[in-house]
Structure 1
Amino acid sequence: MHTVNSMCYKDYKFEVDGRKAGIDDIFPGFNPNDRIGIVTRTPGGSMGAGNLIMSALTSFYDFYRPELGDEPGKLRIYPEYFVFHVGQRHMNHTMMDIWPPHKDVIVEEDDPEEILASINDRGITRLVVEDITPTEPTFLRETISSAKRRIVSALAYNPTGRVNQGDIKVMGCAESEKNILASMNMSEEISEELRAQLKINRENITVDNCVVETYRRIEPSQAVHMLTEFTKVGSKTSSYLEVLENNDKYLTKSW
């Protein structure tokens, strides 16, 4: 909660379709019980969604701000926001208030079923995925059913911070960028060479001293087809299918 006293929601600016907007326009019906999930596939890639994470964080704190504090009797709470690292850990998000550390979720196998199952296990309601070409992965029907009944909105982002055909802009502030860069700098997974490039990426999307990220609204049905470029059934999913006697009636490729 180190950001509570250094930032607030009003420090951020939003645009949707070129018009001034708010977090409610990006995540319709946004509320303190929302659980945001960011899927990252590349080292430091989640920085491309840094302003979104931090602005949603401040909005969450604003729901409780009069009660917050580290003193006895005060409310100490973090939003239920998670980063899903596909294949391996790609960055440490502690300084972005993704806390406790279990909210940096490592999905070891690049298997669509395993990724979506991990998202379901955390009860994600807002899904943010890297902008990759949609594929036709195979899921257990119950995995899709769970996601379909819970995920209410989705966005695509780019690790550079600028997504193709973006219709949303999120403009950060100096304190926000300070925390995003601090998370990057404390990440052992990021080499010095890559760290330098990531800093350049942030400078390239800076306008009037503010980092401006873009996003594209997509349907949740499209987002689950953008979790991975791979469509092959992974080993863990194969073990589930063995229990189901490899019967295709338990599988689906559609939402």
Structure 2
Amino acid sequence: MKTHEFAFTKNDQECRFTDILHNSQQGDRLGIVSMTPGDSLTAAPLLLAAIGDYYETLREMESDFFLYPEFFIFHVGHLQCYHSSLDIWPQSKEVVVSEDPQALLSAINDRGIHHLILPHSDKTSGTVMMHAAQAARRRLKTVLTAGEHKGDISVIPSEAAARMIALAARRSSGLLGEELVDYWTTNAHAVSHYAYTGVENALGIISSAGNTDPCFGFDEKYRTDCGITESTLARDTFQVTRPR
């Protein structure tokens, strides 16, 4: 899989993969959030281009390696698709989180994600932890939404990438169902579209994942033994407002 076999545009102009992710460096971590079955496959062309770029850059530096990029899929609620066919390896990089915005944001932060792709989704208000929102603002270099509507970026997958997308759909038949498998095997070659957005909008999309545990995942015994009170948690609370 070679990046020159993909076709990229940015603002309706042909571009290279390296023009898409902001300040990207070898070793940067990429994450895709999946909220519904198969929605991650919308972002698969850009994911596979990033994987191709990872190996091309690595081969320029060394020839003897057995590595996979530090790329992750964040599944909300349950596994939404299998991605081993897309070089998401091992299974620990298929991260399943509860339907809780803070749990999702923590998972993204804990894995040090630099470039985040979110589903094109309604933004909502919600609650996350203050330190988690600030950490995301500092670390995230690129935030994109992936969807069917034309955006800032478009990617046409290579033949090899399209075969991998179709294979991922077929292997995920038990998660996707027949209709979605048919859709993705038929449309694996289709152009994918992405729009740049900011961290504040990303927090609004993340907030649509569900309802935040008012105790932010701290269980009662932990709170009691460590003297964590409601005021302690209130100091580390951030209210996400729905973007206008």
TM-score interval (norm. to shorter): 0.7 to 0.9
Cα deviation, residue 92, structure 1: 0.7
The answer to whether the aligner puts 1:103 opposite 2:93 as a matched pair is yes
Q: Which residue of 1 aligns with 2:170?
A: 185
Q: Which residue of 2 aligns with 1:15?
A: 9
Structure 1 contact 88–106 (Cα < 8 Å) conserved: yes
The answer to whether the aligner puts 1:168 opposite 2:153 as a matched pair is yes
- CA–CA distance in structure 1, aligned partners of residues 29 and 119 of structure 2: 18
The answer to whether the aligner puts 1:252 opposite 2:231 as a matched pair is no
Q: Which residue of 2 aligns with 1:27?
A: 21
- CA–CA distance in structure 1, aligned partners of residues 57 and 217 of structure 2: 43
Q: 1:85 is matched by which residue type in structure 2?
A: H
Distance change (3 Å), C-alpha of 1:211 and 1:193: closer
Structure 1 contact 98–104 (Cα < 8 Å) conserved: yes
Q: Which residue of 2 aligns with 1:3?
A: none
Identity of matched residues, %: 27
Cα deviation, residue 24, structure 1: 2.6
Kindly provide the CA deviation profile for residues 60-90 of structure 1, in whole angstroms up to 9, marking residues without a partner as x.
Answer: 1111125677xxxx20111111000000001
More deviation, 191-200/15-24: 191-200
Aligned positions of 1:44-123 closer than 5 A: 44-65=38-59, 74-107=64-97, 109-123=98-112
More deviation, 165-174/190-199: 190-199
Distance change (3 Å), C-alpha of 1:230 and 1:9: closer
Match of 1:199 among 185, 201, 213: 185
Cα deviation, residue 239, structure 1: 3.1
Match of 1:148 among 137, 158, 164: 137
Structure 1 contact 173–211 (Cα < 8 Å) conserved: no
Cα deviation, residue 148, structure 1: 1.6
Q: TM-score, normalised by structure 2?
A: 0.87
What number of residue pairs does the alignment pair up? 233
Cα deviation, residue 25, structure 1: 2.2
Tell me the C-alpha RMSD between the 2 structures.
Answer: 2.2
Task: Give the match's secondary structure for 1:37.
Answer: strand
The answer to whether the aligner puts 1:237 opposite 2:237 as a matched pair is no
- CA–CA distance in structure 2, aligned partners of residues 235 and 32 of structure 1: 38
- CA–CA distance in structure 2, aligned partners of residues 13 and 135 of structure 1: 34
Instruction: Name whichever structure is richer in helix by fraction.
Output: 2
Cα deviation, residue 122, structure 1: 0.7
Structure 2 contact 166–184 (Cα < 8 Å) conserved: no
Task: Give the match's secondary structure for 2:143.
Answer: strand
Cα deviation, residue 133, structure 1: 1.5
Match of 1:131 among 120, 127, 135: 120
- CA–CA distance in structure 2, aligned partners of residues 231 and 43 of structure 1: 16
More deviation, 170-179/225-234: 225-234
Q: Which residue of 2 aligns with 1:206?
A: none
- CA–CA distance in structure 2, aligned partners of residues 185 and 235 of structure 1: 39
- CA–CA distance in structure 2, aligned partners of residues 197 and 181 of structure 1: 9
Task: Give the match's secondary structure for 2:190.
Answer: strand
For structure 2, which runs of at least 5 residues remain unmatched after alignment?
none
Aligned positions of 1:213-232 closer than 5 A: 213-229=192-208, 232=211
Q: 2:235 is matched by which residue type in structure 1?
A: K
